[in-house]
Amino acid sequence: MDAKPVLTPELARRIVGWRRDFHRRPETGWTEFWTTARLAGILGDMGLAPRLGAEILDKSSRMGLPSEDVLSRVLVEAARPLGDLAGARAEFLSRMDGATGLCVDLAPDKAPGVVLRCDIDALPVRESRKPSHRPVREGFRSLREGAMHACGHDGHMAMALGAVQLVLDQIAQGRAKLTRSVRLLFQPAEEGVRGALSLVPLVRGWPCLLAGHIGLALPETGAFAAGVSGAFATAKFNVAFRGREAHAAQAPEEGADALKGACEAVLALHALPRHSRGEGRVCVGRLEGGSGRNVVPGFARFEAEVRGRPQEVCDFLFARAKAAVEGIALANGLDASVELAGQAGSAESDGELSARLARIAEGLSWDGRPVFGRVLEQARVSVSEDACTLMREVQQGGGHASYMLFGSDLAAGHHAPDFDFDEAVLAKGALMLASAVLDLAGSRDSRL
Amino acid sequence: MDAKPVLTPELARRIVGWRRDFHRRPETGWTEFWTTARLAGILGDMGLAPRLGAEILDKSSRMGLPSEDVLSRVLVEAARPLGDLAGARAEFLSRMDGATGLCVDLAPDKAPGVVLRCDIDALPVRESRKPSHRPVREGFRSLREGAMHACGHDGHMAMALGAVQLVLDQIAQGRAKLTRSVRLLFQPAEEGVRGALSLVPLVRGWPCLLAGHIGLALPETGAFAAGVSGAFATAKFNVAFRGREAHAAQAPEEGADALKGACEAVLALHALPRHSRGEGRVCVGRLEGGSGRNVVPGFARFEAEVRGRPQEVCDFLFARAKAAVEGIALANGLDASVELAGQAGSAESDGELSARLARIAEGLSWDGRPVFGRVLEQARVSVSEDACTLMREVQQGGGHASYMLFGSDLAAGHHAPDFDFDEAVLAKGALMLASAVLDLAGSRDSRL
Amino acid sequence: MDAKPVLTPELARRIVGWRRDFHRRPETGWTEFWTTARLAGILGDMGLAPRLGAEILDKSSRMGLPSEDVLSRVLVEAARPLGDLAGARAEFLSRMDGATGLCVDLAPDKAPGVVLRCDIDALPVRESRKPSHRPVREGFRSLREGAMHACGHDGHMAMALGAVQLVLDQIAQGRAKLTRSVRLLFQPAEEGVRGALSLVPLVRGWPCLLAGHIGLALPETGAFAAGVSGAFATAKFNVAFRGREAHAAQAPEEGADALKGACEAVLALHALPRHSRGEGRVCVGRLEGGSGRNVVPGFARFEAEVRGRPQEVCDFLFARAKAAVEGIALANGLDASVELAGQAGSAESDGELSARLARIAEGLSWDGRPVFGRVLEQARVSVSEDACTLMREVQQGGGHASYMLFGSDLAAGHHAPDFDFDEAVLAKGALMLASAVLDLAGSRDSRL
Amino acid sequence: MDAKPVLTPELARRIVGWRRDFHRRPETGWTEFWTTARLAGILGDMGLAPRLGAEILDKSSRMGLPSEDVLSRVLVEAARPLGDLAGARAEFLSRMDGATGLCVDLAPDKAPGVVLRCDIDALPVRESRKPSHRPVREGFRSLREGAMHACGHDGHMAMALGAVQLVLDQIAQGRAKLTRSVRLLFQPAEEGVRGALSLVPLVRGWPCLLAGHIGLALPETGAFAAGVSGAFATAKFNVAFRGREAHAAQAPEEGADALKGACEAVLALHALPRHSRGEGRVCVGRLEGGSGRNVVPGFARFEAEVRGRPQEVCDFLFARAKAAVEGIALANGLDASVELAGQAGSAESDGELSARLARIAEGLSWDGRPVFGRVLEQARVSVSEDACTLMREVQQGGGHASYMLFGSDLAAGHHAPDFDFDEAVLAKGALMLASAVLDLAGSRDSRL
């Protein structure tokens, strides 16, 4: 019962195919209608019974939601074919009820074992048209102009699907069995750290959670880190100032200049104090305000984020940022709002779990060769990750969580129009995930 | 030879008709292709020989020009019919050669007499759809969504055309003659004070210039001011900062934050010193910057203006604004540019000329009633006016200039979506302009 | 009864002598103990019965008072001789009861006629020691190091005393008589516009008030302006921020940085909007904050002023400044206070009264030559004047007020260490003031 | 030859006595004339030949020097008795030649062994007068009002002198010998990290350097840390802006507002970017500017510091701060200067050396009891230390350095007026330093 999962060339090809299908129909956060339906179709074909969208989450708990217009438009589009890709099945769209995301359990009658969490959204990036860009060269460039899987979530989904298939195959062949249940969680809206919060109930009380990422911090195929430390807690927020327009020459004193107030707030945010307990970050990444050159601006809004490690640094910065906005509004006779648009906690991978995963990784081979040439127990990252919200939930409930890095050569950095990873990572990742699931949920180890 | 011009009910109706046609096809600054062609058609029908667009101005002297894309798009559209309004004649468009505006002379063989200057552009305002808005109620709302004659230039054109017709009628009937030539100047791009500079050569050396506005500072039909004082000199300018993008969490120190620099510049502009020689104004009316929440912004740009009366206050503010932008760029490691997008001088109406115009206005009657119930020699305004650039040119050449205000009840303020004036002002204005032209250019007064 | 006052060479010498005595013992605002006593001595010698200090004002109504320490120190010093100048008489100091200023009435039994207001305080300026500086050359440099009559108030007092003597002489010689009473008001603390408010009850209901200044706006001996326009209303205020100190490296997050808040407030004050109804001014002239380089500053305070003409512009700026301070305190977690330290209204001289004064000035001669070579009815100034508070009180009660300018050649500008005026102005001013008083309070003109 | 140093009760009393003498005559950085002379006297009495002031350092290399006035005044004062403390000997003052600090070598003919570095300056703090403050209660409060040993350097000197005596005693008694030389370095101006740079030549090429502090990070008597990590690199700097004064109402446009510029710079410094390689700090701890309320400020200056760990974060912040000041000066038409007033590098104690020192500390006993109840190899601190400059010099030359913490109960935090440590630490420290010196310089260990 200890045999390793075996990846056939045929399954390796299917994994790559899945990835390329997702790559061609990218959908940004909370609009992953076609994507969710496609996942449901594949998992259904494997004999599983996934739950979709509104079946798994409270729609009102979604942060940073696009406008109703955008949601409706993409929903309608998802039902239609695009190129040779069929539209989403009406049954799936109906069950989703406007919300995206998917959850499916293996051995659901068993006690909770392992959650495998995977993100599914794309980015609002216009994909490169350069002939040297492999998706162009090999014909799987995004068919939805202005959206792109530029962060590898297409690969994450393919790897997870491959892992499910491997686990099912092992069980079917009597080479493994699950003593605990395994939950596959396909999370929407990871970008902007908006989606995890609404899925917290789905991991509450579970003893173990795994998540991971392609390429991050390890830009070389064959490298693997079994856990990470240093992820920043973060709060993403939108600030809006509303004042009173007035003619800039005839009555400047009647105006309340929302843009001036916003500029003061931008500087105040950057000037927030440093913190003795750790590192922080402040960014105001986007601002617009005012309606015309000769009108005292009546509105201004900006998109900002703060980060901190540990958590308290982030909390400190966010609290001070809100106070700064409120005070500056008062100083300028403006109304102001601060709306949370995303949030992730800081979470460290558990050392014991990471060590166990590292041992598994070191033991993996395929075609007689080691799957990973270089295995780290922990790597240090400087990003924020929506998965941390789920990891903290599991950890605070007494469980363990780890965030893995699947190294890959990269054509360009994450989020760039030329981003592309080495598809060799997909098979490696699927093998690792399947092995980990079988180890953790097939084990009699009393810790799980 | 002293008989007053007589306005027939039929001409009064034509004037209103012209106004409503212009109102239905509004075109913003430098894109007044259909408008120019329509003016040319009407004036040609009166037997005059207007010169158009590139025939009268140096295309490279136009400030604050829209992009080539916009110019091309509107040009193509102008040639097409819209509702029951025929497209611009190809011959006219061809003569314009991409530039707008029109000039036509009466008695061109005589020595220069009077320039009558009129503005022709509309605003980027979406016209109200309220049933109570008269253009809606009476069916002449803008047919070009997002553009609107919300500053009365449609009325200015109609008044000027009516005045030309009245003058021609008087001459034709032998009731008047011109001893000096009269130049009608239909100026593009008044909004943003962008157009007058390119027309300066057309008024150079002329002894007299008249311009005016509907509704401004006198919101009551029947009031008239023969001159104004207090117009602000102004400089309109666009500021752009370019820095270096960087990941807000992974490498904030590698960024050069253009948005932060722009915010500092906005505050620095507002904080420019007051001036002992007069009043100033500063407005940053529009700003946008940055590409996304978690990216150190690599660009930011804003639209600003300064004003001053007298001129030196404006010059002071503009010089200091440029220095502030330059210094702040250096402080933040950014590149910056300041591009002039419009400019108008400060000009006072000449007292002697205003007094003469006031006497003319007081003497006007129509249907046995005085045309103007209330006549002022001078009114004080707090706006900037592109006409000032032309007035200063005439005044600096030893001539006289006056800017008149034609009072009108208003439904809402200038530039508002509900702006609407009382069309009764059109006949009054046409009579006043015709009388002034006949008095000044028909006179043997040695001053002209 | 229409004879002009006659200035004897002996009185001219006494006037200069008075001025030089005052010049040698300058006392800054609210500390004019010796000065008040000296005035009381001279006026008592003329047979008048002046009231002093606490006899004429409510001590609690004094704005911008120095500390008790300073008041006590100067009071003690005033009682002592300094050089050949005797100390203040104990009787006078006792009657003052800690407050300065003096009021004396001529013909007190008559109905109120004219108030003649004169300021008496010096400046915290170290007087020049250059040999070319006339007070040095002629031996009347300030004996109180760090204080100096650098604004001509010493001359104002000498002129006013001379005028009183001239009026008394005329009456004594039977050449004039008073039909209404005349009130001489010697006001403390004009600098910083702190003193007039507490004297308002002494001018309430009076029909006429005269005040004036040497050298201002007319830097040439022999010039005279009978009235002024354009004086700024002003508010002087002190802002203090209190935060929380913290070690800059070990616990920056525990601090509340009062200096940072103050810097934001300084910029916010400069960036207050311009006003369509007139001109404004903003100055933060002095700031200090923080206790040491490596400590998050726990306090900061600054001295600021706003001005406006008309009054509403000043009121607008002050209201907005207070709001800005309050909001910025909130934004930074600070306590803040705004304390009014001085205030003057905007007041225009009455045209009718100025015209009458101008006619008097034009008629004055001395030794067969005109006293003033150049007389203006009105001059424009750009300063704030504490007298305006008293002028407004009289004007709002239906009376008339005018502020006169006595032209003088100047060695350097007002408030400079080298400031010095031409003493020839003193006799001219005394003659003018006496003539005005006799004309206005000796007149049967029903307006007074 | 391995016998531990023995501390007699008599020496313990002398150590406390030295400390209290230093405490009573505190001298701030670069003015330690009496202090240096007193050290020279004590060491001379021990038979050593110290070098003083200008004999050991280049006077021009001193950073953050007080004014000549201050230096002269304190020098004169140092020569006089104060209370029962004799004045500095003329011979010593003459040899110092205006500079402070002292260096003395044991076994100077041997190869370089260990530098023991000790700081000697006091702080500009007014010592508490509370009866509960032990220096008040026991009669050794500062005799120099406004100066105080509030950071324990008085104790450092006493401990070092005690250690020298212990070493000399051991050698004299034949219980130890030095195989390498030992250099005692008494450094001036540690506060403000101003003094170490000028002493760098005195440690260049030495294989080992020891320094330390009382109370820091270990506020409990009996605790000891053999090394530290985390010290911030820092740059202390003074910024001065010079503009042009002008009357705030009459000619604001003629001013160049240095205070406004300084406020912009303060905010710009706080708003400098965070850095991905580590933590930074920014503090503007003191600012003053402007001469009076109604004058556009012609000058402003502030004291600031930046810190970073590792070094590159500090360097980044300082470079950006200088650019910000330069750009803001340009933006406002000001002159600006940035003057370095202190600087310390970041340095980590060497792990091997710390381990060796920890073993020594663990082995120490006195009167049969362990000297230290709690010994750490490394503690983490968040301060900057001038000693780091010397440590880096030694480390970069291939040697080892460690900074030790001598725990002590504290009455109040460092730099506070109530600061007081537990004098029991002095004997413990002297024993530890003597033992370390004997171990390191008496050793045949080839590493030294």
Averaged pLDDT, C356-373: 93
CB contact under 8 A, B274 and C282: yes
Query: Quick check: is C50 in a domain?
Result: yes
Read off the pLDDT of each residue in C232-246 and give the average, rounded to a whole number: 95
CA distances from B70 to A338, B23, B67, B73, B369 (A): 37, 20, 5, 5, 48
Check pLDDT > 80 for residue C443. no
Does residue A314 sit within a domain? yes
Interface test with A, best of C318, C332, C335, C338 (most A CBs within 10 A): C332
Strand partners, B169: none
Is D295 in the A-facing interface, judged by CB distances under 8 Å? no
In-domain check, residue A268: yes
CB-based contact D273 B255, cutoff 8 Å = yes
Residue from B290, B291, B296 nearest B252 by CA: B296
* D246 shares a domain with D188: no
CA A134 → CA A421, B21, C104, distances in Å?
A: 9, 56, 99
d(CA D119, CA D117): 7
Query: Based on the domain organization, do A302 and A428 belong to the same domain?
Result: no
Residue D380: which CATH number?
A: 3.40.630.10
**Residue C180 one-letter amino acid:** R
Mean pLDDT estimate for chain A = 94
A216: closest CA among A410, A60, A33, A349? A410
Q: Tokens for A213?
A: 């990422």
Structure tokens, B54? 């590139």
- Among C271, C278, C382, select the one facing B271 at the smallest CB separation: C271
Give the CATH number, domain containing residue D244. Answer: 3.30.70.360
What are the DSSP calls for C207-265, one per residue?
SEEEEEEESTT--STTEEES-EE-PPEEEEEEEEEE-B-EETTT-GGG-B-HHHHHHHH
Mean pLDDT for the stretch of residues A201-214: 97
Residues 330 to 389 of D: which have CB under 8 A from any C CB?
341, 382-384
What gap in Å lies between CA A80 and CA B359, rounded to an integer?
Answer: 74
Pairing of strands A246-247, A365-366: unpaired
C279 contacts B274? CB cut-off 8 A: yes
Please tell me which residue of chain C has the smallest CA distance to A322.
Answer: C331
Q: Does C6 touch chain D (CB under 8 A)?
A: no
Query: Rounded to an integer, what distance in angstroms lies between the CA atom of residue B18 and that of residue A334?
Result: 44
Side chain identity, residue C162: G
- Which residues in chain A touch residue C296, judged by CB atoms under 8 angstroms apart? 273
Last residue of a domain, one of A287, A313, A344: A344
Contact (Cβ atoms closer than 8 angstroms) between residue C245 and residue C291: yes
Q: What is the pLDDT of residue D1?
A: 43
pLDDT tens-digit readout, C165-183: 999 999 999 999 999 999 9
pLDDT tens digits, one per residue of B376-400: 999 988 778 899 999 999 999 999 9
Does the distance separating the beta carbons of D268 and B274 come in below 8 Å? no
Q: What is the mean pLDDT of residues D432-441?
A: 95
pLDDT at B1 over 80: no
Percent of chain B with pLDDT over 90: 88
Q: Do A316 and C268 touch (CB under 8 A)?
A: no
pLDDT of A1: 43
In this structure, the number of other CB atoms found within 10 A of the CB of residue D359 comes to: 13
User: Which subunits count as partners of chain D given 3+ CB pairs below 8 Å?
Assistant: A, B, C
Task: DSSP letter for C9, please.
Answer: H
**Alpha-carbon span C291 to C297, nearest angstrom:** 6
B417 shares contact with chain D (CB less than 8 Å): no
- For residue A128, CA distances in Å to A147, A150, D124 come to 11, 10, 63
B299 in the same domain as B368: no
Do residues A222 and A84 share a domain? yes
Whole-number Å distance between alpha carbons of D305 and D343: 9
Containing domain of residue A315, as a range? 233-344
- Digit-coded pLDDT (tens) for B309-345: 989 999 999 999 999 999 999 999 999 999 999 998 8
pLDDT of res. C446: 39
Cβ pair C276:A251 closer than 8 A = yes
Q: How many domains is chain B partitioned into structurally?
A: 2
For range B60-70, the mean pLDDT = 93
Residues B162 and B260 in one domain: no
- Report residue C327 as tokens: 């909001």
How far does the CA of residue C311 sit from the closest CA of chain A (Å)? 14
Q: Is the CB of C266 less than 8 angstroms away from the CB of D250?
A: no
On whether both A386 and A422 belong to a single domain, the answer is yes
Q: Say if residue C339 is in the same domain as residue C382.
A: no
pLDDT tier for residue C383 given thresholds of 50, 70 and 90: confident
Task: Please name which of B24, B157, B27 lies closest in space to residue B86, comparing C-alpha atoms.
Answer: B24
pLDDT of C109 > 50? The answer is yes
Angstroms from C344 CA to nearest CA on chain A: 22
DSSP β-bridge partners for residue D305: D236, D283
Segment C85-94, tens digit of pLDDT:
999 999 999 9
Work out the minimum CA distance from D276 to partner chain B, whole angstroms: 5
CA angle B163, B165, B168 (to 5 degrees): 110
Q: How far apart are the first and last CA of chain D?
A: 18
Q: Which of A87-101, A274-288, C374-388, D163-177 has the lowest mean pLDDT?
A: C374-388
User: How many Cβ atoms are within 10 Å of D433's Cβ, its own excluded?
Assistant: 27
Mean pLDDT, to the nearest integer, of B54-82?
A: 95
Q: Can you tell me whether residue D254 is helix, strand or coil? A: helix
Closest Cα in chain A, distance from residue D420 (Å): 25
Query: What's the whole-number mean pLDDT along residues C189-203?
Result: 94
Chain C residue numbers with beta carbons less than 8 Å from the beta carbon of B267 are: 267, 271
A291 CB neighbours in chain B (<8 A) are 285-286
Q: Is D281 on the interface with C (CB under 8 A)?
A: yes
For residue B4, being part of any structural domain is answered with no
Asked if the Cβ–Cβ distance from D279 to A278 is below 8 Å, we say: yes
Q: What percent of chain D has pLDDT over 90?
A: 88
Do both B326 and B369 map to the same domain? no
Predicted confidence (pLDDT) per residue in A377-436, tens digit: 999 888 788 999 999 999 999 999 999 999 999 998 888 899 999 999 999 999 999 999
If one counts every other C-beta atom within 10 angstroms of the C-beta of residue C372, the result is: 23
Distances (CA, A) of D287 to A45, C288, D241, D300: 72, 5, 11, 7
**Domain-embedded: residue C4:** no
C332, closest residue in chain A (CA to CA): A324
Does B437 lie in the same domain as B402? yes
Q: Which tokens is A42 given?
A: 């594949």
Residue B79, token pair as written in the block: 């040639």
For residue B446, what pLDDT is reported? 39
pLDDT classification of D2: cutoffs 50, 70, 90: low
Asked if B85 has any chain D CB less than 8 Å from its own CB, the reply is: no
**Which pLDDT score is estimated for D448?**
54
* pLDDT above 50: residue A446: no
Within this chain, do residues B277 and B329 fall inside the same structural domain, yes or no? Answer: yes
Domain's final residue, options C318, C344, C370 = C344
Cβ of B330 within 8 Å of Cβ of D316? The answer is: no
Task: Count Cβ–Cβ pairs < 8 Å, chain A vs chain B.
Answer: 142
**Burial, A89: exposed, middle or buried (Cβ in 10 Å; 0-12, 13-18, 19+)?**
middle
Give the pLDDT mean for B1-21: 88
In tens, the pLDDT along A144-164 reads 999 999 999 999 999 999 999
Contact B114, B401 (CB under 8 A): no
Nearest CA in chain B to C382: B276
Binary contact (D264, B260; C-beta < 8 A): no
Q: Give the one of C252, C316, C324 whose C-beta lies nearest to A273's C-beta.
A: C252
* CA distances in angstroms from D211 to C75, C267, D185, D381, D408, listed in the order given: 57, 45, 10, 14, 16
Judged by CB atoms closer than 8 Å, whether chains meet at B327 and D324 is answered as no
Residue A319, pLDDT > 80, answer yes
CA distance D402 to D392: 10
D337 with D386, same domain: the answer is no
- CB < 8 Å to B236, chain A: 293-294
* Residue B32 to residue B13: CA distance in whole angstroms: 24
Indicate the residue of B287, B300, B383 with minimum beta-carbon distance to A249. B383
Do C17 and C96 belong together in one domain?
Answer: yes
Look at residues A313, A344, A375 and tell me which one is the last residue of a structural domain: A344
Q: Tokens in use for D263?
A: 């406020």
- For chain C, say whether B282 makes contact (Cβ under 8 Å): yes
Distances (CA, A) of B442 to B174, B273, B352, B395: 12, 49, 18, 21
Asked, for residue B222, whether it belongs to a domain, the answer is yes
Give me the residues of B, 256-275, that contact C with CB < 8 A: 267, 270-271, 273-274
The CA–CA distances, whole Å, from B126 to B82, B371, B419 equal 17, 34, 11
Evaluate whether B149 touches B28 at the Cβ level (below 8 Å): no
Helix H or strand E segment including D438: helix D424-441
Q: What are the start-end ranges of the H helices in B190-274?
A: 258-270
pLDDT tens digits for range D379-402: 988 778 899 999 999 999 999 999
Please check the confidence at residue A27 and state whether its pLDDT lies above 50.
yes
Is D328 within 8 Å of chain B by CB?
A: yes
What is the pLDDT at residue D5?
86
* pLDDT on residue C1: 43
**Which chain D residues contact residue C300 at CB under 8 A?**
287
Residue at D3 is within a domain: no
Select from D234, D264, D266, D267 the residue whose CB has the most chain A CBs within 10 Å, as the one to mutate to test that interface: D267
What's the pLDDT at A5?
A: 86
Mean pLDDT score, B9-23: 97
In a domain? residue D2: no
Give the total residue count for chain C: 448
CA angle C71–C75–C76, rounded 5-degree value: 120
pLDDT exceeds cutoff 70 at A2: no
**What is the model's pLDDT at position B447?**
52
Rg (CA), chain A: 23
Q: Do D253 and B273 touch (CB under 8 A)?
A: yes
B346 vs D71, which has greater pLDDT? Answer: D71
Give residue-wise pLDDT tens across range B90-107. 999 999 999 999 999 999
Mean pLDDT of all residues belonging to chain B: 94
